[in-house]
Amino acid sequence: MFPIHRPRRLRRTDILRKMVRETTLTPQDFIYPMFVVPGKKVKNPISSMPECFQESIDEAVKTAKEVFSLGIPAIILFGIPEHKDEKASSAYDEKGVVQQAIKAIKDALPDLIVVTDVCLCEYTSHGHCGIIKNGKIDNDSTLEILALEALSHARAGADIVAPSDMMDGRIGRIRKVLDEEGFSDVIILSYAAKYASSFYGPFREAAQSTPAFGDRRSYQMDPANRREALKEVALDIEEGADIVMVKPALAYLDIISDVKKNFNVPVAAYNVSGEYSMVKAAAQLGWLNEEAVMMEILTAIKRAGADIILTYFAKKAAKLLQ
């Protein structure tokens, strides 16, 4: 073949490389995760996630304005409630911190897409994503609470609800309640293939949702499994998911690629807290170039097949892309 074929010809100059580039990031690819807490003028740094904060609603509105002005179309909200109990009753409180944050942000920015994480782990006293019965995470009774939670988010004005609990049948249950209550336009972004990953460590500090006992392996997926992700995604689409997500992203690029090849709905990927913190820590030590590594990671997630990337880097990357 050589010397006829010289692939380096197309790499000679920057403009040539740009012309033949297969994957291009834009700020529209991103969803920015935010943590809301009760109170006013609260902006608590999250120590394991530099440049990320727990914010009261007034501060969250300011951040949301900045996010939107950068060309990022959406945020995802996580709530840290005042009150946690066995039954996660704050999860569907009309006056809960997430419900109020949705209203305040939609009032200020009607066009910003507001996504909400639907899960019980931030609201249960034990930190598990479901209701406990006889020492086990009970699937079917959890579905009823998740339905109430999703409905309360829709009533507050959420555009997209994103169930992250990994209970069986939650997508169908949530779709049913939303349709019955007149929210047939509310989109479901399902955390369809969510793995029991150690990369969520920093998030659990941020959301105060570390399980008080045991772990999440009886509901989240085994990191060793690949075919099972296709089964989870197929079930969620059948039950009515509009967008499906793979989480985490970086150690799961094969899963993102499989999901993209096998289904025809938009694919999201969650570049999770631990993936963010690793880059931040190495950069602080001077071991990595943060901006270059960030762009490489985000590009790789998109190249693997993600249409949408949830990332704590969203603001920083959008600024660089502008």
Q: Which residues are annotated as a binding site for 5-aminolevulinate?
A: 204, 216, 273, 312
In the list 68, 203, 219, 252, the residue contacting ligand PBG (rule: CB under 6 A) is 203
Query: Among the candidate windows 36-44, 102-110, 115-123, 261-269, which touches ligand PBG by CB under 6 A?
Result: 115-123
Please give the size of the binding site for ligand PBG, defined by CB under 6 A: 11
Q: For residues 170 and 149, is the Cβ–Cβ distance under 8 A?
A: no
Q: Whole-number minimum distance, CB 314 to ligand PBG, in Å?
A: 12
* Contact between 272 and ligand PBG per CB under 6 A: yes
Structure tokens given for 261? 């090849």
| Catalytic positions | 194, 247
Three-state secondary structure call for residue 317: helix
* Contact between 119 and ligand PBG per CB under 6 A: yes
Amino acid at the residue 100: Q
Residue ranges at the known binding site = 119, 121, 129, 204, 216, 232, 273, 312
* Contact between 164 and ligand PBG per CB under 6 A: yes
Residue in the structure block whose two tokens are 């105060």: 208
Measured distance between the N- and C-terminal CA atoms of the chain, rounded to whole angstroms: 41
Q: Whole-number minimum distance, CB 110 to ligand PBG, in Å?
A: 26
Residue ranges at the known binding site for Mg(2+) = 232
Structure tokens given for 298? 């985000």
**Cis amide leading into 110 (omega within 30):** no
Query: Among the candidate windows 13-21, 117-125, 133-141, 293-301, which touches ligand PBG by CB under 6 A?
Result: 117-125
How far does CA 153 lie from the centroid of its chain?
Answer: 16
Report phi then psi at 270, rounded to 5.
-105, 110
Amino acid at the residue 285: L
Contact residues: ligand PBG, CB under 6 A:
117, 119, 121, 129, 164, 200, 203-204, 216, 272-273
